[in-house]
Structure 1
Amino acid sequence: MDQAVAPLLDADGFLYVFGYGSLIWKPGFPHAAMLPALLRGFHRRFCIWSTHHRGTPERPGLVLGLDRGGACRGVLFRVEPADAAAALAYLDAREMIGGVYERRMVTARLLPGGEFKRAVTFVAVRGLDSYCRALAPEAAAAAIAAGVGLSGANRDYLLNTVAELRSLGVRDAGLDRIAALLPPD
């Protein structure tokens, strides 16, 4: 076992990763299970200007981050201990571009009403220029409609996230409002 990974494992010996946005529909790392979960103390919000994955420096897109306060329904990915180091390396390479996220240990609750698990997740860094203070839904929709980056169209990111959340029985009123304001494709 990689000594850097051992402190990140839950008491049951597995690594858990809390996903709240694109990880839900495109995890990109091996996992043994994807389990509905609730994280308190953070909420999902379009709060990061993307100049790489979903936009460019000339026309930034917006991506989701976990921001302070509230609660967020998402998923816990259960990762086998043998896959934990590779999963973390992949996630760090994917999520830490530009330092817009901070990798953090959190405690999330399995749903419905299940046990608590220690998990790794990625939280928005508020002190950066890439952090987006609250935008009106119309302004967020306009940025998302125009954003295209190395990972594709920003609108696809939003719509895929909304669709996957709905398939899990999760309705996110903020995301639904922004999606309803997107101009026709």
Structure 2
Amino acid sequence: MVTWVFGYGSLIWKAGFHHDERLVGFIRGYRRVFYQGSTDHRGTPSFPGRTVTLEPLQDQVCWGVAYRISEQDEEIALEYLEVREKQYDLKVYLDFFTDADSTIPAVSGVMVYVASADKDLNRNYLGPASIEEMAMQIVNARGPSGPNRDYLFHLEAALIEFGCEDSHVRELAAAVRKIILGREVALSNGGLEHY
């Protein structure tokens, strides 16, 4: 028995578990959004960071990677993932594609962790906000795994590496860079009047 896990956030560049195969591809019917609060990795309970979750949306695709985990590694890998992904309240099983022109999935039933928009089940769901608001939160958030901005920039770089165009990630990364640059300019001018 083989288990497949789909990563669309930090799992893309940092699996953290043993796997036998890594495929670049996508799932259909979802888009990646920075709507999930992180109070344990990229933020704190008093100042959550923002990480990605999936939002159902017809005709959309979300690129990422699928990892094949053998039966002998499954227990350890899934225990690790249950801790790492504990703020994601749903697991869904979806078809994973590697060819945009194919109607036949490369893998059926890949496991995907999703943070739902249900505040009763997912107390860390932040939901949508303007790009500027999200960028400011990401610039200022830091958690045990490091600055929230690093999460965003690693994700952006990983998606660029395999040729994925994700406008939400690109726009958010550009807005974060603009804030950082503005702060650097303000500091070089002797103050933080506007930040």
What's the TM-score bracket when you normalise by the shorter of the two chains?
Answer: 0.7 to 0.9
Is residue 72 of structure 2 the alignment partner of residue 82 of structure 1?
A: yes
- Structure 2 match to 1:7: none
Report how far residue 132 of structure 1 moved: 2.0
Q: How do residues 57-72 of structure 1 correspond to structure 2 at under 5 angstroms?
A: 57-69=45-57, 70-72=60-62
Q: Does the 8 A contact of 1:19 with 1:75 survive in 2?
A: yes
Q: 1:166, 1:132 → 2: CA distance?
A: 26
In structure 1, what residue type is equivalent to 2:161? S
Give the TM-score, by structure 2 length.
0.82
Indicate the SS of the match to 2:97: strand
For structure 2, which runs of at least 5 residues remain unmatched after alignment? Answer: 182-195
- Structure 2 match to 1:3: none
Is residue 10 of structure 2 the alignment partner of residue 22 of structure 1?
A: yes
Report how far residue 77 of structure 1 moved: 0.8
Report how far residue 50 of structure 1 moved: 1.4
Q: Deviations over 1:79-137 (max 9, x none)?
A: 1221112111111110014xx33122222223354634221110112112421221111
Q: 2:3, 2:75 → 1: CA distance?
A: 9
Is residue 83 of structure 2 the alignment partner of residue 93 of structure 1?
A: yes
Is residue 112 of structure 2 the alignment partner of residue 118 of structure 1?
A: no
For structure 1, which runs of at least 5 residues remain unmatched after alignment? Answer: 1-12
Q: Structure 1 runs of 4+ off > 6 angstroms?
A: none
Q: 2:168, 2:81 → 1: CA distance?
A: 26
Q: 1:115, 1:59 → 2: CA distance?
A: 40
Q: Deviations over 1:131-181 (max 9, x none)?
A: 122111111100100010111100000000110111111121111101001
Q: Does the 8 A contact of 1:62 with 1:140 survive in 2?
A: yes
**Structure (1 or 2) with the larger CA radius of gyration:** 2
In structure 2, what residue type is equivalent to 1:62? R
Q: Does the 8 A contact of 2:139 with 2:180 survive in 1?
A: no
Q: Deviations over 1:1-56 (max 9, x none)?
A: xxxxxxxxxxxx42111110100011101111211122112211101111221111
Give the TM-score, by structure 1 length.
0.86
Q: 1:21, 1:101 → 2: CA distance?
A: 16
Q: How many residues align?
A: 171
The CA RMSD measured in Å over matched residues stands at 1.6
Q: Does the 8 A contact of 1:96 with 1:102 survive in 2?
A: no
Q: 1:36, 1:46 → 2: CA distance?
A: 21
Identity %: 35
Is residue 151 of structure 2 the alignment partner of residue 184 of structure 1?
A: no
Q: Does the 8 A contact of 2:23 with 2:98 survive in 1?
A: yes
- Structure 1 match to 2:93: 105
Q: Does the 8 A contact of 1:110 with 1:117 survive in 2?
A: no
- Structure 2 match to 1:130: 124
